[in-house]
Structure 1
Amino acid sequence: MVAADLPAVVALLTDDVLGAGRETADPAPYERAFAAVDADPAHLLVVADDGGTVAGTLQLSFLPGLSRGGALRAQVEGVRVAAAARGRGLGEAMLRWCAAEARRRGAALLQLTTDVRRPDARRFYERLGFEASHVGMKLPL
């Protein structure tokens, strides 16, 4: 992803039942976040290009930790595929790329969370081999 992709990525984040209520029209926070994430090699902002159009996006982050014998974890966040591109295997290709990149970097685990209000997303992730193994909890700050 490059900075020029940012408006299209924000549009993908907003074009979502949940995202419509939590994203903002102000580009400044996205520009700050992009700069911070882009500057850190432990985080990758990824777009799927479909003939010059951003058709999908996600963030892949690598988290070192002490648990699991000091294992490196790969965390997937913000997965979105444009409505017009759904059903063509793009989301699956993006997640398979994440798994391959995580293996290449030596991660022991690829993890993600999905909102309980997205049953279709859960079925999609389960079809790709992800297992619902934990209960995610959040504390708004």
Structure 2
Amino acid sequence: MDLTTLRATVKLHVGLTHSHANVLRAADSLVRLLYRISEGMALRDAIRQEAGDWLSGKQADSWLHQDDCHVIGQRFSPACYIAEAMPASLYLAWKYHDDFSAGIIANTMCGGDNCHRGAVVGSLLAASNGIETTW
């Protein structure tokens, strides 16, 4: 399926239950990210290209030395509100771009509504790295 058709399909599907503009924008960003990764683009490059309006690479890099629970808890709310949850998810995907297990475990340890973030973090890391057989 081409990206234009895929984006329209996702918008229609998500819009059935979540028609808020920011939710639709997040869903569109996620589908574009996953599409680019499926084409072979590196995860961080995909975030730069397709989700820079949610989180800049420069911003994410400046937080890499901080504890994850500080970034998700102080910089971003651990709640499910999409304006905070999407950039928080992208931050974890950025930080753990090459380690599926570390990324999903870090997300869980940050608490809050981690299942929402986990769907984004897990899908991006799995698309980029695959999933280890231990999972």
Question: RCO greater where, 1 or 2, for CA within 8 Å and sep 6 or more?
Answer: 2
Answer yes or no: same fold by TM over 0.5.
no
More helix by percentage? 2
More strand by percentage? 1
TM superposition score normalised by structure 1: 0.29
| Structure whose alpha-carbon radius of gyration is higher | 1
